[in-house]
Structure formats: structure tokens, C-alpha cells
Amino acid sequence: MSTAFVETRSITKRFRSTTAVDELDLAVQPGEILALLGPNGAGKTTTVRMLVGILRPDSGSIVFRVDGRQMERPAPGDLGYLPEERGLIRDVPVERTLEHFAVLRGMDRAAARKAARDQLERFGLGDRGGERVDRLSKGNQQKVQFLAAVLHQPRIAVLDEPFSGFDPVNQQRFVDEIRALRDRGTTVLLSAHQMDLVEQLADRLVLMDHGKAVLQGSLDEIRRSTSSGSRLTVGVREDTDAATLATVDGIESVEPTADGRWSLRLAPTIEVGAVLNALTGRFTVHQVATDEERLHEIFLRTVGRDAFDDQVDQEEAAS
């Protein structure tokens, strides 16, 4: 029997002629951070909206398991949701906004007020609780939005693009916050574009494309399942080109780096030492660095460069 906290069983959602989510099976284990990745239009937000009960699947089912009971939708207090399209009522004080969202999630009003004050203090906004939301900077509004989603200590937090709108320092801070949330016992499902942050944070990943899950598992499992080899960056004394380097046994592809070195992707089955031996037999190698294939490279290889370019465009627009 499944132990997943939430499970989707072949859920499908269509909008007119478009199938946004196509028979998707997904399982989020209790206490884990699961990241949904995918290019624009992959079906991530539609999946998230179905999970939080805003949309209903056309077919298939969603099951939550809370305290041994199965249900279609968890109690409001068990769920926290940070939507992709952010929005707070701007003409209301910050503290009252947080209190309201927590009360809607089932918290007692006095407890909600106290929690709001404590968390605002922790986020460095302790003296701004009485100010209208629209007086805060965009970054601080993002913090308030995040707090509105998790103030009531939900059992599962669904975070759609939690890092968008933050500068790199605050992005890193939110990586820590989400980890802390998980450590306090909240299961986290997030959808994000920032691959490097997802790499740091997620216990498991689901890569979606055209409404389907094309890859699932931990980063290591995904690396293994995509048969992706190691990456080697080398500097050679000789004047050479990518085509010549690619003729070395065990090298699948070659790309020049900005600093004049060469980035080599090795065949999945080959050992790094064997390639190095072959290289040193033909070139004078003066620099060597090894690396695992990065998530964005797996992403790019799996869903294609066009999708990646779309993704970059969107990240640029968001920033």
C-alpha cells in the first residue's frame, strides 16, 4: 500500500483542445521536498492548481493521506499554498493580512496574530506589521506572501515559483527557509525554474513535458536513468578544435569554455581515467576538473533547447 502523503492517479486536465496535464502519476512522500520542473506549458501550474483544489481533473483522482485517512482534499489547515501569480490585498496592514489568511486556514485569531508578529520579527519586518502591504518593497511583499502560505504550519506546502522576485541573497535565504519548513515536518511540493536552487533543495524531482512526467526520482537516480556521463573540463597546450578533441575515445561531445578550455561530456559507461589517458597520449593537458552533469543540462537534453530558451526568457522576464 502506498505511503505517499499525496498521490495523483492518471490525472488529466484539458482546456478546450489543449491537454495541459496528461494522465499524470505523481507521489509526494511525507516529509520530502519534491520539485516539479518543466518548460513553459509543461503543465506544472495546472498540476499544482489541481492539487490545491482550485481546478478539478477531468479524469483520474487525487488522494491525500492525513492521519491514516484518505481524502480528496485536505482540511484548509493542512494545506499551505503559494501561487505563481502572487497577490495580496494592498490597502490592508501586513499583520492583519497574515492574520486573515491564517484564520481562513483554521487558526485561532489570537494565535494567528501572535504567529504573524513572531514571523514578521524573524523576517526582519517586525516594525512594519502596521503598514499597508503596498508600502513594502517587492521583495518584502514576497516574504509576506510566503508567510501567508505557511504561517499556520501546514502539513503540506505547495509552493509555485517560490524564488521568483528575490535577489540571489534572498533566494538563498528561502532555500534555507524551505529546508527549515521541511525539518519542522511539512511536506513540500515546489515548482521552480531556478535549477541550481532546486538541485540544492529537492529530495526528488519530477521533470514534466507536454503534461506528462518524463523523468522522476532523486538527482542521482535521474542521472543514472538518463545515462548521463561525467563532465570533464581540460586545458591543453596545443592549438586544437572541438572536432579533433571529439575523436578521442569515450568523449561524446565537446564545447569550448569562455576561458579557453574545453568542456567534455563523457560517454556514460566510460571511466574518467581512461579518457584522461587517451587525452594525455595526444595532447599536453595542463588543467583538469571533473563535474557531474548539472540539472539544467539534463533538463536541456531531455526537453530540448527550444524549451530551455523559453525558460531563460521567462526567468529574465521574471527578474
Partner 1 sequence: MTHPVAAIMRWEFLRFAKLRDLVIGAVVFALMFGGGSIFAEFAGGKLTEPRRIALVGEISTVVDDSTRLGRFDLVRRSAPDVDSLLAIESIDAALVQIDSDTWEIRAARSRGWFAQLESQVGVLIAQERLMQLGLDPAQLQRVATPAEFREVVVDPKPRDDGRTDAFTAGIATGLMMMGLFVGFSFVFVAITGEKTQRTTESILSAVTPQQWIDGKILGLTGAVMANLLSTASGYVLWQVVSVIFFDGRMKLPAGAAPLDVFALVVFALLGFFFWFTLFAMIAATIDDPNSSSRSSLMFLPFLFIFPAFLGLEVPDATWMRVLSIVPGPSAAVMPARLLRGEPAWFEVVAAVVLLAAGAWAFRRAAGKIFGTSMLMTGKEPGFGEVLRWLREAR
Q: Which of 115, 149, 201, 206 binds partner 1 (CB under 8 A)?
A: 149
Which residues neighbour 185 within 8 Å (Cβ) at sequence distance 6 or greater?
31, 155
Is residue 191 within 8 A of residue 48, CB to CB? The reply is yes
Compute how many other C-beta atoms are within 10 angstroms of the C-beta atom of residue 185.
11
Is residue 117 within 8 A of residue 129, CB to CB? The reply is yes
Q: Is residue 132 near partner 1 by the rule CB under 8 A?
A: no
Q: Is residue 66 near partner 1 by the rule CB under 8 A?
A: no
Q: Is residue 183 near partner 1 by the rule CB under 8 A?
A: no
Compute how many other C-beta atoms are within 10 angstroms of the C-beta atom of residue 132.
15
Q: Is residue 205 near partner 1 by the rule CB under 8 A?
A: no
Rg (CA), the chain: 23
Q: Is residue 54 near partner 1 by the rule CB under 8 A?
A: yes
Q: How far is the CB of 101 from partner 1 (least distance, A)?
A: 7
Q: Is residue 318 near partner 1 by the rule CB under 8 A?
A: no
Q: How far is the CB of 203 from partner 1 (least distance, A)?
A: 23
| Structural element, H or E, at residue 110 | helix 109-122
Q: How far apart are CA 309 and CA 290, in angstroms?
A: 26
Q: Which of 1, 16, 87, 138 binds partner 1 (CB under 8 A)?
A: 87
Q: Which is nearer to partner 1, 96 or 282 (CB)?
A: 96
Which listed range, 6-14, 52-60, 209-217, 249-257, lies at the site for partner 1 (CB under 8 A)? 52-60
Residue 68, classed as helix, strand or coil, is: coil
Is residue 174 within 8 A of residue 207, CB to CB? The reply is no
Is residue 35 within 8 A of residue 192, CB to CB? The reply is yes
Tell me the residue ranges of DSSP E strands in 67-177.
69-71, 79-82, 156-160
Q: Is residue 100 near partner 1 by the rule CB under 8 A?
A: yes
Q: Which is nearer to partner 1, 99 or 293 (CB)?
A: 99
Q: Which of 109, 122, 135, 184 binds partner 1 (CB under 8 A)?
A: 109
Grid cell, residue 14, equals 484539458
With left for phi above 0 and alpha for psi between -120 and 50, is residue 132 left, alpha or beta?
beta
Give me the sheet containing 33-37, strands edge to edge: 79-82, 156-160, 187-191, 33-37, 204-209, 212-217
Which listed range, 63-71, 142-150, 182-190, 191-199, lies at the site for partner 1 (CB under 8 A)? 142-150
Q: Which of 30, 31, 41, 53 binds partner 1 (CB under 8 A)?
A: 53
Q: How far is the CB of 30 from partner 1 (least distance, A)?
A: 20
Q: How far is the CB of 91 from partner 1 (least distance, A)?
A: 8
Q: Which is nearer to partner 1, 49 or 296 (CB)?
A: 49
Count of residues that interact with partner 1, criterion CB under 8 A: 28
Q: Is residue 93 near partner 1 by the rule CB under 8 A?
A: no
Scanning 153-271, the segments in alpha helix (DSSP H) are: 168-183, 195-201, 219-225, 242-245
Residue 283, classed as helix, strand or coil, is: coil
Q: How far is the CB of 107 from partner 1 (least distance, A)?
A: 8
Of residues 26 through 45, those in contact with partner 1 by CB under 8 A are none
- Residue ranges binding partner 1 (CB under 8 A): 49, 52-54, 76, 79, 81-83, 85-92, 100-101, 103-106, 108-109, 145, 148-149
